[in-house]
Homo-oligomer: A and B are copies of this chain.
Amino acid sequence: MGYSVSEQEQLLFLFKTLSNQLGPKFEKNTQFSLSRFELLYQLVQFEEISQSSLQKIVNIDHAAITRHLKQLEIDGYVTRRRNPKDNRETIVHLTEEGRQQIFNCQKDKQSFTNQMFSHFNDKELKSLIDMLQRIQKNIKEI
């Protein structure tokens, strides 16, 4: 335990602040909230997937998943139906409209992240990912 207390505190606050500022800015630039974007983004590569599987990937609470997907269904970006093989499950599918939407905002997202990580090199990004994943793992055990 050779490190200073104040660095840990600083980081604790930094995470919260950063995330609070990140969300609204992202939404303003892409027309999608970060969570909705991530959901659609994952759906692109899955074609069909149950809500619970999707939940495990994006790490958002079940309740939030349900509400997001309900709204995305209303917007016409996804379809939802029960799994005939297991009626507990809801299977989600990205519509053509949804695919188009997520495709359209790729450019905005790209320029957003480019700005967000400007002056970062590849090594730094990799190191950042590594550290965040380790923290996430540490937190899970609390």
Contact = CB atoms under 8 A, between A and B. Distances in A.
Interface of A: 1-5, 7-23, 25-26, 29, 34-35, 38, 41, 58-60, 109-110, 112-122, 124-129, 131-136, 138-142
A118 B138 contact: yes
Number of copies: 2
B122 A138 contact: no
B121 A2 contact: yes
A45 to B, nearest CB: 11
A15 B21 CA distance: 11
Contacts of A129: 7, 10-11, 14
Nearest to A26: B12
B19 A19 contact: yes
A11 B136 contact: no
Given A13-B58, A21-B139, A3 B34 contact: no
Contacts of A109: 9
A142 B25 contact: yes
Given A2-B122, A125-B8, A18 B114 contact: no
A125 B19 contact: no
Contacts of A17: 58-60, 136
The 3 closest A-B pairs by CB, nearest first: A19-B19, A8-B113, A3-B122
